[in-house]
Amino acid sequence: MKRILLVVLLVAVMAFPSMASAAVRIGVAMPTQSLQRWNQDGANMKAQLEAAGYVVDLQYANNDVALQVSQLENMILNGADILVIASIDGASLGTVLAIAKDEGIPVIAYDRLIMATDAVSYYATFDNYMVGTIQGEYLVDKLELATRTDPVNIEIVGGSADDNNARFFYQGAYDAIAPYIESGIVVVPSGQIAFESVATMEWSSERAQARMDDLIAANYSDGTPLHAVLCSNDSTALGVTNSLVNAGFEEMPYITGQDCDIANTKNILAGLQSMSIFKDTRTLASNVVSMVEAIVNGEEPPINDTETYDNGVKIVPTFLSAPVFADINNYYELLIESGYYTEEQLGL
């Protein structure tokens, strides 16, 4: 019996040599602290991983790709057993992740897919296409596009082209409103419809605001009504809202968003933004912790999508969670009663 146990132990140590030691080290690389969500993601990951007994090396890279690469190099040097990475530019990590692969370090792509490398083992995210679908369908519903006969004007503000998610959000939203663009019920007065012409580098509020300033000057300064702005996320929605407020819009168009950031949720309460997609970062963190646990135990992590996320080299096995939308009608239940925010945080 003892001999069998010893053999089993030996086999386990040989299969997962780095994980045989007591403290398993998890490197967690986050893109930036400038956006509220990544601070929450990082804090949740650290808390949940530490509660499960892991040693966590959490780093933020200030949206600087070179800095993220050097943080990953250091994590590897410092003996990381598993890497969890929310990338800045999904296509820039090939070289450093080749080292991780050589060292036998599994890599989990967190929220954003890591592109063009076979070194990424798993991906955990929310259903990104569904995020866009919900945003688009929200506008279809609020603008009553299925039944109306008079056209509406909308503009589109997309995410950062170096983030694989941005195209999924855009495509989901576009597919929901495309029939109405084709029928002429939805008009985009700027003519800027293709992803490339609506993308916002770094998801920057300032860039979104500057572009909206230009769109207003060129298309709406004569009083042409603007019925909706389809914004991919909250940082871009914030820039758009600021631009419209500065331009003196009294009746705000419908504005979509994503993340339920505090500033944007306050804007929803103030009637300045219509909705935001709620992606509970606690759920994503616990999904990733389950993946980590499975890897450490030599088991297959929970996966529910093996088709959608092709990074150009492989289809990455993924665990998708479902997003929902928050607006003035359901925010209290979703955000306060669930314990995500306190009333004080939202100024209630």
List 63, 135, 241, 258, residue binding ligand BGC (CB under 6 A) = 258
Is residue 186 at the binding interface for ligand BGC, with CB under 6 A as the rule?
no
Is residue 127 at the binding interface for ligand BGC, with CB under 6 A as the rule?
no
User: How near is the Cβ of 107 to ligand BGC at its closest, in Å?
Assistant: 17
Write down the residue that tokens 């860039």 correspond to: 207
Is residue 233 at the binding interface for ligand BGC, with CB under 6 A as the rule?
yes
Q: How many amino acids of this chain bind ligand BGC (CB under 6 A)?
A: 12
- 3-class secondary structure per residue, 246-294: HCCCCCCCEECCECCCHHHHHHHHCCCCCEEEECCHHHHHHHHHHHHHH
List 46, 112, 167, 207, residue binding ligand BGC (CB under 6 A) = 112
User: How near is the Cβ of 49 to ligand BGC at its closest, in Å?
Assistant: 20
Which lies closer to ligand BGC via its Cβ, residue 126 or residue 174? 126
Is residue 37 at the binding interface for ligand BGC, with CB under 6 A as the rule?
yes
Which lies closer to ligand BGC via its Cβ, residue 160 or residue 190? 160
Is residue 165 at the binding interface for ligand BGC, with CB under 6 A as the rule?
yes
* Secondary structure element (H or E) that encloses residue 296, with its range: helix 281-296
Is residue 68 at the binding interface for ligand BGC, with CB under 6 A as the rule?
no
Instruction: List C-alpha distances in Å: 26 to 47, 77, 164, 236, 247.
Output: 12, 12, 24, 32, 47
Strands 275-278 and 324-327: antiparallel
Q: CB within 8 A of 268, min separation 6: which ones?
A: 274, 275, 276, 326, 327, 328, 331
Is residue 259 at the binding interface for ligand BGC, with CB under 6 A as the rule?
yes
Is residue 87 at the binding interface for ligand BGC, with CB under 6 A as the rule?
no
Query: Which DSSP string do the residues of 38-70 spell out, in sequence order?
Result: HHHHHHHHHHHHHHTT-EEEEEE-TT-HHHHHH
User: How near is the Cβ of 317 to ligand BGC at its closest, in Å?
Assistant: 19
List 174, 203, 309, 319, residue binding ligand BGC (CB under 6 A) = 203
**306 token code pair:** 């093996």
Terminal CA-to-CA distance of the chain, rounded, Å? 63
Is residue 163 at the binding interface for ligand BGC, with CB under 6 A as the rule?
yes
Q: Which positions lie near ligand BGC, rule CB under 6 A? A: 35, 37, 111-112, 163, 165, 203, 233, 235, 258-259, 279
